[in-house]
């Protein structure tokens, strides 16, 4: 009885590298974040109704990520970059904005720190509400 052939170290590393490469490429696109190409003053980011009530909507605005946060008829906007070490802050259930890297949490109402290690608030993005639309100020 013969034993099954084992792959060489080179073949194993090549196969693993190809698999990791495919996984990395899959993570680069199609993340479901709406893109807004123009990032100038007056640019429509979303309709107010597109932002979940008591929730947030993540957008790619030019080269940056922005979180639109809604409370009733009010919408605030923040850079989705954690001031602690620059990781991407994400909206979560329970009306919080959380950095998955180190667990910092932010208040959607004002971007203030609810839980560290971050010590600074999220950077606000100036927006205006006009005729049911959220626009860059």
Query: Going by C-beta distance under 8 Å and a sequence separation of 6 or more, which residues neighbour residue 98?
Result: 89, 90, 91, 92, 104, 105, 106
The residue with greater pLDDT, 13 or 113, is 113
Q: What is the DSSP letter of 129?
A: E
pLDDT, tens digit, for every residue of 80-97? 999 999 899 988 866 789
Decide: helix, strand or coil at residue 41. coil
Name 64's Cβ contacts closer than 8 Å, sequence gap at least 6. 39, 79, 80, 81
When the candidates are 2.102.10.10, 1.10.10.10, 2.40.30.10, 1.20.1440.230, the CATH number that belongs to 34-136 is 2.102.10.10
Give the pLDDT confidence of 11-63 residue by residue, as tens digits. Answer: 544 544 444 443 333 334 445 788 887 778 899 999 999 998 878 999 999 88
Domain ranges of the chain: 34-136
Looking at residue 84, its pLDDT comes to 94
pLDDT score of 104 more than 50 = yes
Q: pLDDT value at position 39?
A: 76
> Strand 90-92 and strand 44-47: pairing?
unpaired
List alpha helices for the chain, DSSP H.
Answer: 9-28
What pLDDT does 55 receive? 81
Pairing of strands 34-36, 56-61: parallel
**Per-residue pLDDT, 25:** 35
State residue 19's pLDDT score.
Answer: 43
What secondary structure letter does DSSP report for 90?
Answer: E
Residue tagged 């006009």 (tokens): 130
What pLDDT was estimated at residue 136? 94
DSSP secondary structure, 96-123, as one string: EEE-TTT--EE-TTT--EEESS--SPPP
pLDDT at 98: 94
Residue located via tokens 């993570």:
27
For position 29, what pLDDT does the model report?
Answer: 41
């Amino acid at each position: 009885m013969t034993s099954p052939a084992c792959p060489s170290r080179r073949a194993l590393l090549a196969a693993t590298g190809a698999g990791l490469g495919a996984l990395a490429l899959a993570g680069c696109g199609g993340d479901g974040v709406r893109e807004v190409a123009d990032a100038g003053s007056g640019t429509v980011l979303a309709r107010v109704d597109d932002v979940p009530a008591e929730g947030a909507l993540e957008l790619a605005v030019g080269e940056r990520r922005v979180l639109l946060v809604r409370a009733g008829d009010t919408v605030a906007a923040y850079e989705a970059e954690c001031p602690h070490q620059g990781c991407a802050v994400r909206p979560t259930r329970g009306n919080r904005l959380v950095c998955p890297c180190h667990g910092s949490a932010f208040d959607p109402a004002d971007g203030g720190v609810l839980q560290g290690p971050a010590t600074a608030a999220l950077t606000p993005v100036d927006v205006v509400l006009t005729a049911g639309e959220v626009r860059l100020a």
